[in-house]
């Protein structure tokens, strides 16, 4: 079984280490929803190998960066008129921004500009991405939260300061990452927000509507989320159906929401929905966590 798993997941051999100590039927009789678009096949394969009935319903579609004219304009603006402070939200977003800047012929100039401004990174992955291109952050919060960033800058005072905030995805009412920009603006800062990896809800909403219905009626045991936009997309579909309250009730009862980390969980936590998160914000950790925790909640003996 270990060799087969290694063949199925050549890019993530670390997942083979713990599977030896576990049986392959922990999730038998349980239905798990995977909402991820990227790397979904890997995740689905692991869950199915442990007996789960997996429903794959991608909640978002990521748009090509090179076609994002708003991001191009924001990048040119930062180069032409550098902010005093730059806040990097995610490693993937920061790296993606530099990659597309390279395609636009702006990468070196952008890095040079950022080298001359104060930089705050939201967490260790963003910190690593920043340092990976020779830049240095001034500070990074231990909690990996924007609330701590806002608290620090509030104490420091930002009235009249120019601050650029890089978001990972499309800004929506369900993603509280925008609270940082709103909070800084309320303190008198001149805030420029821009998004990397814009996403859209699936054009065909039928699968998402069916997912909402399944959650509300408890026809699935768990829903896994690997990004805050996926949560936002589900909530937006539920809002269209006037069923947000029912989804919240289901997630607080028979259906368990598993989130890869605190940022992913934040839209649900903001609504008072308790979520389960692995000790490390990694896809492999999430898979192991679901296999270990869900049987206890689903009443299935491991």
- Contact, 122 vs 87, CB < 8 A? yes
DSSP secondary structure of 54-94: EEE----EEPPGGG-HHHHHHHHHHHHS--SEEEE--HHHH
Q: How far apart are CA 25 and CA 10, in angstroms?
A: 22
- Contact, 199 vs 61, CB < 8 A? yes
DSSP-assigned beta bridge partners for residue 225: 259
The reported pLDDT for the residue numbered 53 is 97
CATH number of 65-199: 3.40.50.10090
The reported pLDDT for the residue numbered 81 is 98
**Residue 31 CB: number of other CB atoms within 10 A?**
17
Is the pLDDT at 18 greater than 70? The verdict is no
The reported pLDDT for the residue numbered 175 is 55
> Which range, 50-59, 65-74, 264-273, has the best average confidence (pLDDT)?
50-59
- Per cent of the chain over pLDDT 70 is 87
Report pLDDT digits (tens) over 79-114. Answer: 999 999 999 988 888 999 999 999 999 999 999 999
Same fold: 2-60+201-298 with 65-199: yes
**Mean pLDDT, residues 38-57:** 93
**Mean pLDDT, residues 228-251:** 95
**Radius of gyration (Cα) for the chain, nearest Å?**
20
Is the pLDDT at 63 greater than 80? The verdict is no
Indicate the pairing of strand 162-167 with strand 222-225: unpaired
The reported pLDDT for the residue numbered 177 is 46
Q: How far apart are CA 90 and CA 124, in angstroms?
A: 9
Q: The whole model's pTM is what?
A: 0.69
Is the pLDDT at 73 greater than 80? The verdict is yes
Q: Is 297 helix (H, G, I), strand (E, B) or coil?
A: helix
Q: Is 105 helix (H, G, I), strand (E, B) or coil?
A: coil
**Mean pLDDT, residues 122-129:** 90
Q: How far apart are CA 257 and CA 267, in angstroms?
A: 12
- Contact, 116 vs 110, CB < 8 A? no
The reported pLDDT for the residue numbered 33 is 98
Q: How far apart are CA 113 and CA 127, in angstroms?
A: 17
The domain locations on the chain are 2-60+201-298, 65-199
Average pLDDT, the chain: 86
**Strands, E, within 82-134: which ranges?**
85-88, 118-121
The reported pLDDT for the residue numbered 281 is 81
**Strands, E, within the chain: which ranges?**
31-34, 53-56, 61-62, 85-88, 118-121, 162-167, 190-195, 199-200, 222-225, 256-259
pLDDT band at 7 (very low <50, low <70, confident <90, very high): very low
Q: How far apart are CA 212 and CA 54, in angstroms?
A: 16
Is the pLDDT at 20 greater than 50? The verdict is no
The reported pLDDT for the residue numbered 17 is 33
Residues 6+ apart with CB under 8 A from 301: 295
- Contact, 196 vs 166, CB < 8 A? yes
The reported pLDDT for the residue numbered 173 is 55
The reported pLDDT for the residue numbered 10 is 35
CATH number of 2-60+201-298: 3.40.50.10090
Report pLDDT digits (tens) over 190-223. Answer: 999 988 877 789 999 999 999 999 999 999 999 9
């Amino acid at each position: 079984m270990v060799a087969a798993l290694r063949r199925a997941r050549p890019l993530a051999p670390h997942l083979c280490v713990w599977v030896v100590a576990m049986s392959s039927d922990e999730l038998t009789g349980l239905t798990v929803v995977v909402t991820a678009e990227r790397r979904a096949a890997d995740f689905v394969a692991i869950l199915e190998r442990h007996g789960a009935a997996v429903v794959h319903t991608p909640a978002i579609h990521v748009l090509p960066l090179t076609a994002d004219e708003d991001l191009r304009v924001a990048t040119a603006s930062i180069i032409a008129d550098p902010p005093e402070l730059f806040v990097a939200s995610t490693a993937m977003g920061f790296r993606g921004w530099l990659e597309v800047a390279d395609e636009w012929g702006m990468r070196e100039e952008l890095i040079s500009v950022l080298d001359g401004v104060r930089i705050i990174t939201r967490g260790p992955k963003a910190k690593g991405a920043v340092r990976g291109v020779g830049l240095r952050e001034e500070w990074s919060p231990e909690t990996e939260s924007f609330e701590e960033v806002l608290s620090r800058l509030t104490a420091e005072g930002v009235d009249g300061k120019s601050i650029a905030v890089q978001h990972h995805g499309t800004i929506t009412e369900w993603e509280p990452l925008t609270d940082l920009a709103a909070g800084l603006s309320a303190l008198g800062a001149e805030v420029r927000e821009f998004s990397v990896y814009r996403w859209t809800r699936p054009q065909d909403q039928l699968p998402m509507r069916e997912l909402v219905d399944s959650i509300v009626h408890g026809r699935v045991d768990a829903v896994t989320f690997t990004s805050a936009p996926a949560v936002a997309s589900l909530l937006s579909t539920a809002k269209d159906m006037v069923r947000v309250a029912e989804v919240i009730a289901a997630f607080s009862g028979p259906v368990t929401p598993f989130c890869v980390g605190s940022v992913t969980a934040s839209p649900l936590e903001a609504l008072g929905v308790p979520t389960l998160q692995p000790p490390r914000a990694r896809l492999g950790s999430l898979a192991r966590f679901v296999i270990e925790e869900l049987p206890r909640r689903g009443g299935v003996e491991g």
